[in-house]
Structure 1
Amino acid sequence: MTPSTEILNWLVIGFEQPTGSLTEFFYYDKHDREFFSIMAVDYFMLDEEMNIAGNVTTNYSKTQTNTLVERMKKIENDDPSIIPVPRVTLDDPKNVMQQFLGTLSDQKLIDRLNQQTQTQNYKTKFDFYFEDETEELIKQNWEKAKSTFLHQQIDTFLNLNNINIAHSTLWVVDSEGSISIDLTKDSNSTLIIDKTKTKKRWWKFWQ
């Protein structure tokens, strides 16, 4: 897999996330020309001043921690060098799904998939869920239609922001890591957030 292909796969995952998902957020750093994501649990590392909290320990490397904190501060301050990767709007998936339904001839399948289209909401992943007996060609055609749409959206995003992925990199944290938070200084109580169990970075499934 080439670096550019890896970035495109990563962007597809970012674009097709449900609009209501608060697990992982995708960005581009114009200064470093680097794509990166922030996990929601990363914010547990910070205190009210956006610094590493005194009661927090993490197995991130020092370099990784510093990069995360610097970027989270920039995001908090609306730094123009950090560009959020957008997600498709709620109407976009419905329109693409409806267009795909127009290519089908099996009325029972159309009715079943149309119901999925109508129930598409901000918590729902942009996808159809086919039954096992559905023809493989239909599934492949849907994946092609969805991929074409998402890549068109990605191309528009890259062009509008003058981003050349051939000259960009994808920031990868070496360790998924865990974050430990002492809940009180007067006891041994500790909250441990194991990020490997909380959420595996979705784009890694594409590798």
Structure 2
Amino acid sequence: MTTQEQIYNWLIMGLQQSPVKFSEVFYYDKRDNQFFSILMTDYFLFEKNGDLAKEASSSYSENTLKLLTDRIRRINIDSNVIALPRLGSDGDDYVLQAEAFLNLNAINIDESTIWEVEESGSINTKLQ
């Protein structure tokens, strides 16, 4: 499978996400030319200010944690981080929707990658 086919598959998976159930959210980072997603459980690793929680730990590598921290901090404040719309499974033509997303945001998939993250394994945190 080509990189372009992988990106289209990733986009279609993201577009098919329910607009009301959030277990994973899909984004594109124009700064890094990279598609990525954030699992809702990943947020347990962070304080409200975006710093890593002292009581939390995961099996992510140090590099993954650095990039995850950067992206979580930037999601709501950086216009270079674009959320993929969540259309659900209502029968839309997802290939056309993916193409529209790419065109609307001037994304060149030949210059883009998908962030490959190692499995998180487990996240441990102290809830108060």
How do 1:23-172 and structure 2 match up within 5 A? 23-76=23-76, 78-88=77-87, 126=89, 146=91, 149-172=93-116
Q: Considering fraction of residues, name the structure with more helix.
A: 1
Q: CA deviation at 1:175?
A: 2.1
Using the TM superposition, give the Cα deviation of residue 183 of structure 1 relative to its aligned residue in structure 2, in angstroms: 4.1
Q: SS where residue 25 of structure 1 aligns?
A: strand
CA contact (8 A) 2:58 2:120 kept: no
Provide, for residues 122-144 of structure 1, a one-character-per-residue CA deviation record: whole Å limited to 9, x for no partner.
xxx516xxxxxxxxxxxxxxxxx
Q: What per-residue deviation string (whole Å, max 9, x for no partner) do you get for residues 11-51 of structure 1?
A: 00110111101100000000000000000010000112210
Higher Rg of the two aligned structures:
1
TM-score by length of 2: 0.93
Amino acid at match of 1:45: L
The count of aligned residue pairs is 128
Which position in structure 2 is the counterpart of 1:203? none
What's the secondary structure of 2:75's corresponding residue?
helix
SS at match of 1:182: coil
The answer to which structure, 1 or 2, has the higher relative contact order (CA under 8 A, 6+ apart) is: 2
**Counterpart among 115, 118, 121 of residue 177 in structure 1:** 121
Structure 2: runs of 5 or more not aligned: none
Aligned residue type for 2:117: V
Question: Which stretches in structure 1 are left out of the alignment for 5+ residues?
Answer: 89-124, 128-145, 185-207
Off by >4 Å, runs of 4+ in structure 1: none
Question: TM-score, normalised on structure 1?
Answer: 0.59
